Amino acid sequence: MRGFTVRGTSCPSDRQRVRRRARQEAIEMAQGDALGQAIVDESRSALDGYVQEGAWRMLQRALEYEVENFLAEHADRADNKGRKQVVHNGYLPARTIMTGELIPWLYLKGISTGDYTEALEALLGRDTKGFSPNVIVRLKEKWGPEYEAWSRRDLTGEEYVYVWADGIHVNVRLEDEGNQKQCLLVLMGATAEGRKELIAVIDGVRESKQSWQELLLDLKQRGLSTPPKLAVGDGALGFWAALREVYPTTREQRCWVHKTANVLNKMPKALQSKAKSDLHPIWLAETRGAATKAFDHFLEKYGTKYEAACNCLSKDREALLAFYDFPAEHWSHLRTTNPIESTFATIRLTSSRTKGSGSRKASLTMMFKLAQSASRRWRRLNAHHQIVLVLEGRIFTDGVLQNAA
């Protein structure tokens, strides 16, 4: 197959701007955010995974689109014997090219379609020059119906023992100026076999009970009738209010990473490191009794001077300690919303904005494709054989299965 190159139209200043943006994004990912270095490390690992695994499939699809387009444009070219001069000569041996799954990531970070070629080249080198804006547009058009079909799939018989919920604000300025407060609502779950799955992605208002209720009711209407045993999320009141109405028997677990950040934000910066160290013994305690003792110690130590921080902690005491009633091997999965954070934290809202308007449909599609790609690397829950015991309603105390009377 004869190679060809689609030249971009960006001027040198545009290329420099894209490269600076790419470098800045890399610096921001390395620096982390208030949600904790552990999440940043996993986020970087997830992004590295996007670059290292599976990307060749999407790049191959993109190149095939280019080839088909090129062949169609020159289909009438023939020699004096009527033989076509532009033909497809098969495939060369496969080679590794690191790109592909970065496309959804770049979109959700706010990079305009016209800048993709320059951005990919700045990040990965010159192997990505075949990625023209037209190819990106066609890929997005193909992924749209995939997302629509997935979001209407039948859930009859599906069962999730645990779910994680979060609202993700992305770096895309939506076309509707009145819609700027919207974000993408994400729900993930763990199956009876211990496998993590993306359950739903819709757009809505993070704190809105109505938005979360629409998501949960839609799942129930499509067949997800069995309530999860435990839901994990941050303090967004809308999700919990909706959950109590749609799945009233589901237990609630607040995310310790979010809670830690919220508590520390209500304290002086000079004291935050020490206070963080005093929070760790609560959620890392081996028993609920030890956690309660550490909880009370924190409130006694800081309550007089930092009442707001202590009220922020104490108001969710029961929900922060719910994980003690589930298998100890699952605690690392249940104390935080890390299954969502590690996948999507790299595309959370930052200071810059895309120069063009994005569409809500494209944002949902890109989030879906990003999660679909990442799901190949999601590991099963520890001791997944114990999930059946949780589903049966067996009692766990301090993470240990209790013998039936």
> Is 202 inside any structural domain?
no
pLDDT tens for the chain, 405 residues long, are 444 333 344 455 555 565 565 555 544 544 444 444 444 444 444 444 444 444 445 555 655 665 676 667 667 766 666 666 666 655 555 444 344 456 665 655 555 555 555 555 554 555 555 556 666 666 667 778 888 999 999 999 999 999 999 988 765 555 555 555 557 899 999 999 999 999 998 888 767 899 999 999 999 999 999 999 999 999 887 999 999 999 999 999 999 999 999 999 999 999 999 999 999 999 999 999 999 999 999 999 999 999 999 999 999 999 999 999 999 999 999 999 988 877 766 555 443 444 444 567 777 777 787 777 777 778 899 999 999 999 999 999 999 999 854
Give the three-state DSSP class for 249. Answer: coil
- Which pLDDT belongs to residue 137? 66
The verdict on residue 122 lying in a domain is yes
Cα–Cα distance, 98 to 31 (Å, whole number): 24
Query: What is the model's pLDDT at position 100?
Result: 47
Domain boundary among 316, 335, 354: 335
**End of a domain among 335, 367, 388?**
335
The phi, psi pair for 64, rounded to 5°, reads -65, -40
Instruction: Out of 278, 300, 335, pick the residue that ends a domain.
Output: 335
Would you give the end-to-end CA distance of the chain in angstroms? Answer: 73
Counting Cβ atoms within 10 Å, is residue 19 exposed (0-12), middle (13-18) or buried (19+)? middle
Asked whether residue 167 is assigned to any structural domain, the reply reads no
Question: Quick check: is 179 in a domain?
Answer: no
Spatial CA neighbour of 378 closest among 329, 327, 403, 344: 344
Q: In terms of pTM, does the model score above 0.75?
A: no
Instruction: Give the closest residue to 364 by CA, choosing from 214, 208, 204.
Output: 204
Domain carrying residue 117: 12-149
Q: Identify whether 250 is part of a domain.
A: no
Q: Which two tokens stand for residue 287?
A: 């028993």
Residue 196 placed within a domain: no
CB 125 within 8 A of CB 194: no
Distance CA 371, CA 125 (A): 25
φ, ψ of residue 344 to 5 degrees: the values are -115, -5
Residues 145 and 17 in one domain: yes
Q: Fill in the DSSP letter of residue 322.
A: G
Identify the three-state secondary structure at position 174: strand
Could you identify the residue written with the tokens 């974000």? Answer: 183
Give the chain's domain count.
2
Tokens of 277: 């160290």
Distance (Å, whole) CA 179 – CA 56: 36
**Strand residues in 269-383 grouped as ranges (E):** none
Residues 138 and 264 in one domain: no
Q: Say if residues 36 and 43 touch (Cβ distance below 8 Å).
A: no
Give all strands of the β-sheet with 230-233 in edge-to-edge order: 196-204, 183-191, 160-168, 230-233, 251-254
Domain-located, residue 52: yes
Distance separating alpha carbons of residues 344 and 342, to the nearest angstrom: 6
| pLDDT value, residue 168 | 81
User: Which run of H or of E encompasses 397?
Assistant: strand 396-397
The answer to the question of residue 283 being in a domain is yes
